[in-house]
Structure 1
Amino acid sequence: MTLQARLEIPRSGFTVSVEFTLAPGKVLALMGPSGAGKSSIVHALAGIQQLGAGSIELEGRVLADEHTHVPPHRRHIGLLGQEPHLFPHLDAAQNIAFGARAGGMEKRAAAREAARWLERLGLAEFAAQRPGSLSGGQRQRIALARALAAAPRMLLIDEPFASLDVEAAGDMRLLVREELDRTGISAVIVSHAAVDTVALADELLVLEQGAATHYGPVAEVFAAPATRFMRAVVAALPASARVTEATDGV
């Protein structure tokens, strides 16, 4: 499900200007200082934000250009953010079933899909609980299940681990990797954490003041950090992960 993106997104003080191609089943990580424009790229891909210029094509279908702006609900792109944004009046099973219904399933099939997901997540006992009574990690897992239950052609992941503790973040990272491998869909992930990029991504685009300062395979970018930001990122990565995981391009 190839994504071709050529983006010009006006922001206060600068314009985000990047171009990249993402092959089917691959994961692109976006890294950069706060305010560099990473979330603007995600929002443009999702259809939440319009382009100033450029184009977005997924599977040969134009989602945005100077003449076209396909609305978010018609893009078949899942979005998972730092906040799970579950429906507070629906229980865990109903939240997941909502995603399945959005993906075209009829009501009974969607309920079965929600039950399957809850079993898969180890949360079957929480099926009837509403989001307010669940932990942050549980809510994020349900949000991921809801996004994937909709059978998206692509997944956008915008810092979903930032508010989780170390253990919950590790569990969530493993779950995301397993589900991306299982479904074979491509994904774009925004993160400030090098460990997220090493564990999840195939390619890395580093954004600084709206411009790409690095773009290529994760291992290559980490092996030759050319800016102060990337040198700090690499320095913060545990040596074991830098040598074994980044070298293998995990």
Structure 2
Amino acid sequence: MKKPKAKSEPAAAAKARPRTRSFRARSRYTPAEVREIFRRFSVQRPEPKGELEHINAFTLLVAVVLSAQATDVGVNKATRALFAVADTPQRMLELGEERVGDYIRTIGLWRNKAKNVIALSEALIRDFGGEVPGERDLLVKLPGVGRKTANVVLNMAFGQPTMAVDTHIFRIGNRLGLAPGKTPEKVEAGLVKIIPDEYMRHAHHWLILHGRYVCKARKPECEVCVIADLCKAPEKTNSVPAPLVELKPLEPAELAAQ
């Protein structure tokens, strides 16, 4: 019987050695560069706002549910009249599925969305006294509510520093190499890990607006980008180079002054 070949010491040692992943293995940017990216976003848009129109936490929740595979502009056109007559779960339930459908008929998948709006209204009344819960685990149990929708509501209605990864943020995370990932969950985890705490509150809006109006899917407008010199995306279309030296971290006094 042949004896199994002994592994060479370097190979065996490499296998036994615990795997470690550096910051750069997850992101193309150093911590200081990430901080500078979001510092610039904060200067460009000090108080970023979501573009879905809403009256309260409930109408925000409904608007986000309706926005799946639809534009914010299209959802706003449909919900202005809807929310004027139904801005609470009880009023929405009284309106009924058929009439809700009439209001949102211009939105894609409107039949299924009308069912979900009525079902989540029923669940809010039955399980939460008509109030929108401020916890992700509870929100995702509602009909039509996934992790992204829950994160948007937690961020906008409850001020929680969540990261809701939509198509824009997913593209930005991968195109820039800011937080590469094959799934929205991977990109979310990567962004949450690298973005400084002081910028997390508005980070998801900054990235969405940057992706929607500057780093566009078909043709990014690099010539007007506030982080063009920091950007390490292969698709970058201007000649502004990325810094050759690492940026110094901001001092506590500088952070406090922002």
Give me the TM-score of the superposition, normalised by structure 1: 0.24
Greater fraction helix: 2
Q: Which has the larger radius of gyration?
A: 2
* Larger RCO (CA under 8 A, 6+ residues apart): 1
